[in-house]
Amino acid sequence: MTGDAMNPLLEVRDLYVRFGAKEVVRSVTFSIAAGEKLALVGESGSGKTITALSLLRLAGEAKISGQAMLRGRDLLSLSEREMRGIRGGEIAMVFQEPMTALNPLMTIGQQIAEILELKKALTPAQSAQAAIELLAKTGIPEPERRANSFPHQLSGGQRQRAMIAMALASEPALLLADEPTTALDVTLRGQILDLLSELQRKGNAGEGMAVLLITHDLNLVRRFADRVAVMEQGELVEQGSVAEVFRAPQHAYTQRLIASQPRRDVLEADPPAGADPVVQAKDLRVVYPTPLPGIRGWFKKGEFVAVQGATLQLLPGRTLGVVGESGSGKSTLAQAILGLLPYGGELAVAGQGWQQPATRNTPANQRLRRQVQVVFQDPFSSLSPRLTVEEIVGEGLKVHEPALDMAARRVRVEAALAEVGLSEAQFPGLLARYPHEFSGGQRQRLAVARALIVQPRVLVLDEPTSALDVTIQQQVLGLLQRLQRDKGLSYLLITHDVDVIRAMAHEVLVMKDGALLESGPVHQVLDAPQHPYTQRLVAAASVPELTGAD
């Protein structure tokens, strides 16, 4: 809290970053005191990552102007040689995706030792030992063994710990952490954040280490930071202590950001008794063939059980949330229900099972496909970049109502687009546009329109908002809620985000490693979780009470 009063460690004044004629960062001014935790918050494209990178002058071809004083030296006017001393020395960085930030051909130990040899002039033997100590400090079990592991042999959380160990190797005064937990599962996020907090407190040589956390996740900010700086479209619109900013945000954008927690706005009334479930599964089992090693693999295939004993029921007009970490089998479950994978056990969509093999487009399966449609996570890979909006949205009609002529199809396409809030008035020539012209949220609307045009009863939503910014996420969830109310759609909502489940779902399933751990009404599961894993999941997603002081 006293950061400004003390002599700041890093003081950034009037930072401008330009790519060609485009200004991506405008007049950004902030400071970090030694041992302080500052969070830089903003949505994608707000310029927060490029701000951090330009402090290290790693922003590629960007033109940077302004001042960034680190202990009296201006980072932006140092020679490239001096800069190399600073990078990985006084300022270290932790990246979002440890898998791509670590060299896949070197062991973790070697990568940490390399820095120690460079920055602290240790002998190879000393640095190998020090690398193990650093790994132990970040809480990796069996650090001696792990030091000899390659990045792909570690789990995601361990990789991120190894990245942090690397960053700490040079005992930096300032750690830049760029979305350090975004690529991790929810339950790991808290752990990594706690680790960062702990290391920050211990710091080096008695003085705490300053951390600049770059994130879009407001929950992380509340848990971690002392102060917060909010960026919007390249400008710093507000900064202050976390408690103050969250209690009384001044700038309109900050207010919108803070108010963008998913809101629950669904029909709570129980469906009429005796309503037939639109999706019903009993002991559903999905396996993937895996290659066996050696000569056995020539004749036989092993199997990997992705989903085991899944029993679920989805009633009309309701939402069944499936929550779990990556690799828990939730997306596989969705694909089985969509009839895209062979499965064992019982499954009925609208009272009918898929005719095996489900991947074949027999007439019976085609009728079922109309009933259940899907919206995927990544709005960029879910629309073919070489088809126009009309072709993308109209595709379902071509398959299921081939009798429609061009004009009739166009009317239906326009209606479907209007339903998801896209209109010709907003986008002149909407039907002839290509997906690259739309933002993530708009693309997701297009994906919803493509699914809705065949008038399905069930929509499988596979992480529909996790690739979107928080304010956009709220809009898309709002759209889905409205469509459910208006059309009585049933949703199978797959997500790792407990907040989204809380806002959308009526019933919840918790999955881990292909198995169902817990299921029940949303309030029961989230408010009084029974299984220890569910408890961890819910705890990791909960927002700490604001105490005002650290």
Partner 1 sequence: MSSLTKPPVSASPASLSPSRRAWLRFKRNRLGYWSLLIFCALVLVSLCAELVSNDRPLIVRYEGQTYFPMLKDYPEKTFGGDFETPADYLDPFIRERITGGGNWALYTLNPYGPNTLNYFAKAPNPSAPTRDNWLGTDDRGRDLLAQLIYGFRVSVLFALALTVTGVLLGVITGAIQGFFGGKTDLAFQRFIEIWGSMPELYLLIIFSAVFAPSISLLLILLSLFGWMGLSDYVRAEFLRNRQLDYVKAARALGVGNAQIIWRHILPNSLTPVVTFLPFRMSAAILALTSLDFLGLGVPPGTPSLGELLSQGKNSIDAWWISLSTFGVLVVTLLLLTFMGDALRDALDPRKADK
Site string for partner 1, 56-95 (x = CB under 8 A): ----------------------------------------
Site string for partner 1, 140-179 (x = CB under 8 A): ----------------------------------------
Beta-bridge mates of residue 65: 16
Task: Identify residues 248-267 at the interface with partner 1 (CB under 8 A).
Answer: 256
Token pair 């709002």 is found at 478
Q: Determine which residue in the list 190, 339, 464, 514 makes contact with partner 1, applying CB under 8 A.
A: 339
Region binding partner 1 by CB under 8 A among candidate stretches 32-40, 158-166, 304-312, 380-388: 380-388
Q: Specify whether the CB–CB gap between 176 and 141 falls below 8 A.
A: no
| Cα separation, 169 vs 149, whole angstroms | 18
| Cα separation, 65 vs 286, whole angstroms | 56
Q: Where on the phi/psi map is residue 190: left (φ > 0), alpha (ψ -120 to 50), or beta? A: alpha
What's the token pair of residue 496?
């790792």
**Of 446, 334, 318, 343, nearest to 392 (Cα)?**
446
Closer CB to partner 1, residue 124 or residue 429? 429
Q: Specify whether the CB–CB gap between 76 and 64 falls below 8 A.
A: yes
Task: Identify residues 341-360 at the interface with partner 1 (CB under 8 A).
Answer: 359
Closer CB to partner 1, residue 206 or residue 293? 293
Closer CB to partner 1, residue 400 or residue 536? 400
| Cα separation, 172 vs 282, whole angstroms | 55
Q: Determine which residue in the list 332, 475, 484, 490 makes contact with partner 1, applying CB under 8 A.
A: 475
| Cα separation, 40 vs 224, whole angstroms | 12
Least distance CB 444 / partner 1 (angstroms): 11
Least distance CB 501 / partner 1 (angstroms): 20
* 518: enclosing H helix or E strand: strand 515-521
If binding is defined by CB under 8 A, does position 335 make contact with partner 1?
yes
Q: Determine which residue in the list 60, 294, 428, 544 makes contact with partner 1, applying CB under 8 A.
A: 428
> Strand 372-375 relative to strand 235-241: parallel, antiparallel, unpaired?
unpaired
Q: Determine which residue in the list 365, 465, 473, 495 makes contact with partner 1, applying CB under 8 A.
A: 365
Q: Determine which residue in the list 126, 241, 311, 388 makes contact with partner 1, applying CB under 8 A.
A: 388
Q: Determine which residue in the list 101, 340, 348, 483 makes contact with partner 1, applying CB under 8 A.
A: 340
Burial of residue 526 (CB within 10 Å: 0-12, 13-18, 19+) is buried
As separate numbers, helices (DSSP H) first and strands (DSSP E) second, the chain gives 20, 19
Residues that bind partner 1 (CB under 8 A): 20, 256, 335, 338-340, 359, 361, 365-366, 369-370, 372-374, 376-378, 381-388, 391, 395-396, 399-400, 421, 425-429, 432-434, 436-437, 439, 441-442, 447, 450-451, 454, 471, 475, 478-479, 482
